Amino acid sequence: MPLLSADPAAFPTEPPADTHDPAVTAAHDWAAFSALDEMTDHWARPGWSDGSRAYYWMLTFPDDQRLAALARHCQDELAPLGLDPVPTDGLHITLVRVGTPGVVTPGQLDSLARDAEARLPAAFSIRAMPLAGSRGAVRLSLGPWEPLLQLHHVLAEAGSSVGLDPKKPTSAFRPHLSLVYNNRRRPAAPVVDAVSSLRDLPAVELSVSAVQLVELRREGRTYRWDVRKSVPLG
């Protein structure tokens, strides 16, 4: 599997020293977030305006009540900052962008799902916590990264095999789970301070037994999706 590499479009830009140790990846996330001077508007994304749609591979957790409770608690504590909360039934880990409905055909989606199913690794678990952030969001660190990197790699390979090359290589993938999105340019320090008080909450273990191929859409200042294929892990 390709090694992670520095990428100015990724956050953190530099990869962590160890993708197997959750403590290392979490500390690396926090060091990058706490060093920010300014946060940017998550929604100011060229080509991704209100109503935009695209196919993605994601991990979704619509029935995980422990994750939902953790998200609600953090969102309530951060509410005075005026950030945009992710609906608890919309919590997700973004993996690989596949393409847009105007370009990707239904036949390609079917082929992609079949090819991916033949390659997928075994089911696994990861831990979500502690809280950190990025330039445009407050998000949970995840660990260990290694099974997520392996999953990203096989999904990217499956895409390439059916003519749908991924937009970003696995080397630039930085696993995370966003809880709130920042909606304007602002100094980072008040957000970092608020997040720092929430970093000692208990972690939530997430079981990953399937990956979802979704049609993602932007609705105002939130994301929604329809699941096109849910593919079980090996």
Instruction: Report helix, strand or coil for 16.
Output: coil
- pLDDT tens for 122-179 read 999 999 999 999 999 999 999 999 999 999 999 999 999 999 988 899 999 999 999 9
pTM for the model: 0.96
Which is it for strands 92-99 and 124-133: parallel, antiparallel or unpaired?
unpaired
pLDDT of residue 166: 87
Domain ranges in the chain are 28-34+51-232
pLDDT above 90: residue 226? yes
CA 59, 147, 141, 54 dihedral sign is negative
pLDDT above 60: residue 1? no
- Local confidence band at 115 (pLDDT 50, 70, 90 cut-offs): very high
Q: What is the mean pLDDT of residues 1-18?
A: 90
Say if residue 22 is preceded by a cis peptide, omega within 30 of 0. no
Q: CB–CB of 192/199 below 8 Å?
A: no
Q: Which CATH number fits domain 28-34+51-232: 3.90.230.10, 3.30.413.10, 3.90.1140.10, 3.40.50.300?
A: 3.90.1140.10
pLDDT of residue 3: 79
